[in-house]
Amino acid sequence: MTEGELESFAKAISRVLGWSYFLAWSASFYPQPISNYSRKSTLGLAIDFPTLNVLGFWCYAISTACFLYSPTIRSQYAYRHPGAPDTTVRFNDFLFAAHGAAMTVIIYSQFFPRIWGFKVGRTQRVSRAVLGIWWGLVTGVIAVALLALLSGNDKGHAAEDWAWIDVIYALGYVKLITVFLKYIPQAWVNYKRKSTVGWSIYPLILDFTGGWLSLAQLIIDSALQNDWTGITGNPVKFGLGNITIVFDIIFFLQHYVLYRDSKKHMEDDDADEGDWVPERERLVAEDLDHVR
């Protein structure tokens, strides 16, 4: 096999890996909302998880779209990575991010009984810590944008100083941070309940598969460019694969080893989560009990 044929074969493998990880990760969005719908309940799913997911995927969608379609961002990337002027972001990356952004909104909306009518626990409210992180990340992106606009050369269009590509990198790092943080509340909820009931295992299996496929594509693409800065130039994709794999292993241990013999059903969640009751109805009930 000649060098040219080998390169063509490697590119074909890269495309197959890219679309395979896209299908695996995209499919992973569906088991959880389907499970919530079939149970008419979100008990067992930490609301902090979709809250961070919404922010992360919308940032990721914007980031990948700019790397693919913005002439300014592409030229600034080429300036900063002369050895590999073409970004390793692929169309399947953008499609996955855009699809994920839409699905995270749907999953988050399932915590609103007025929309879906699902059973939602009283403690299934976004924690103050997550709200602080959420707004802190948004503020950070805005700060970088202001630096590019006010401190950068040519209002951020010159790549040698603060530039718009730094804003896009900031969006990518928001995605990376949310990927790491979003799993922690869910792992804690599983630990507190000593059960994974309500937390679907199927998305994790697909996530685990997609993580390895994504890393494999990134490595092949960087090798084809003969420049491993293709990995450092696309830290979000590299980090997504690694973080996903590590947390999937943790959840596999919880589901198949630590809590595999758990007999808890969703009704048992009342002790931890409590039935969702609108505040006014709760106050009325308390008044009636006082009268009695």
Choose the most confident range, by mean pLDDT, from 120-129, 227-236, 247-256: 247-256
pTM (2 d.p.): 0.77
Q: Mind listing the pLDDT tens digit for each residue in 79-136?
A: 888 876 678 788 888 998 999 999 999 999 999 999 999 998 776 789 999 999 999 9
DSSP letter assigned to residue 64: H
Across 230-240, average pLDDT: 62
pLDDT grade, residue 229 (50/70/90)? low
pLDDT grade, residue 32 (50/70/90)? very high
Across 63-76, average pLDDT: 92
Please choose, from the candidates 29, 55, 24, the residue with its C-alpha nearest in 3D space to the C-alpha of residue 200. 29
Q: Mind listing the pLDDT tens digit for each residue in 195-207?
A: 998 999 999 999 8
